[in-house]
Chains A and B, each alone.
Chain A
């Protein structure tokens, strides 16, 4: 009795995908960087974290004095939210006097999209360009915050790569 053939595999045509050791091909240097460089190749520090019990007024003070667009909100060193200039506009600006003493947890954006430090630059670009996220926290393997990236940091990095490419 003949053995049934597995679907999609014809006699003599099976190729073990794990046996392909050839270098991947890239269109240009930026293509390689997007695919191979980890997100930490981009400037991802300094960053600022506040506890979720911090008051809105104190967080605004932090943002203005450090001249930063967002802070990450943590509980026991784990990220629980993010608070950006957009949240200021949406939840704080008009009613500031009424909410200034409230905890930041009441107006932050909860459970933000994050990226692990070993993931590629392409993922960060995708989160921003397709997902529409302006700031993406970077986490270590044990879920601790190690940095943050935004469109400016990504664009500056990619541009420096392009310039390097032109110079060589």
Chain B
């Protein structure tokens, strides 16, 4: 099966995904950022009481929020940190199911220009997050010898003269 066929036939379930880190709508920005730091993720999913995604809160939003706070006035930053995530989150959330094809997953990421997409189950509850890195791993896994055959360090030329 070539890569084109593989993208069409393989499902999101086979793509490396991140654990779901969710917050409630009334969670403060400060706490959401802390959770992102603790779990080393670039995105938390804002869910309702039933666990269905309402929106996403991402690293990029944090940059924009900080700048908004910085431009208004000194001291504004603390106020922004204490606002609920629902005031800033991206809506509507872009979602896929475990049964969505990888080709469609890539389509949705590109059309929404998002780095992360929420995976939902049959009941519409958020289950995981898949991102650009997962897609890169998926592509790389098809060509392991080619991808792993390159040293991690830049190897164009030696930094010191041999024998010097």
**Taking beta carbons and an 8 Å cutoff, which residues of A are in contact with B?**
27-28, 30-31, 34-35, 57, 60-61, 63-64, 69, 85-86, 88-90, 92-94, 96-97, 100, 113-116, 118-120, 122-123, 125-132, 134, 139, 141, 150-152, 154-156, 158-159, 162, 165-166
Contact = CB atoms under 8 A, between A and B. Distances in A.
B87 interface: no
Given A85-B42, A93-B62, 15 more contacts: A27-B2, A28-B3, A34-B143, A85-B63, A88-B63, A94-B34, A97-B74, A119-B150, A122-B147, A126-B140, A127-B152, A132-B133, A141-B157, A155-B109, A165-B3
B21 to A, nearest CB: 13
A89 B136 contact: no
A93 B33 contact: yes
A114 B154 contact: yes
B10 interface: no
A112 B129 CA distance: 26
A69 B77 CA distance: 21
Interface string B139-163: 1111100111110111111000000
Nearest to A69: B60
Interface string B67-88: 1011000110110010000000
B3 A116 contact: no
Contact of B59 (A35, A86, A127, A151): A86
A130 B7 CA distance: 20
A134 B133 contact: yes
A89 B137 CA distance: 24
A116 B106 CA distance: 27
Contacts of A90: 37
Interface of chain A: mostly helix, strand, loop or mixed: helix
Interface of B: 2-4, 7, 30, 33-34, 36-37, 42, 59-60, 62-64, 66-67, 69-70, 74-75, 77-78, 81, 106, 109-110, 115, 131-133, 135-137, 139-143, 146-150, 152-157
Contacts of B62: 85, 88-89, 93
A131 B151 CA distance: 10
B136 A128 contact: yes
12 contacts: A60-B67, A61-B67, A86-B42, A88-B66, A89-B33, A114-B154, A123-B150, A132-B133, A141-B157, A151-B135, A154-B136, A165-B2
A24 B84 CA distance: 57
B132 A100 contact: no
A139 B157 CA distance: 12
A60 B154 contact: no
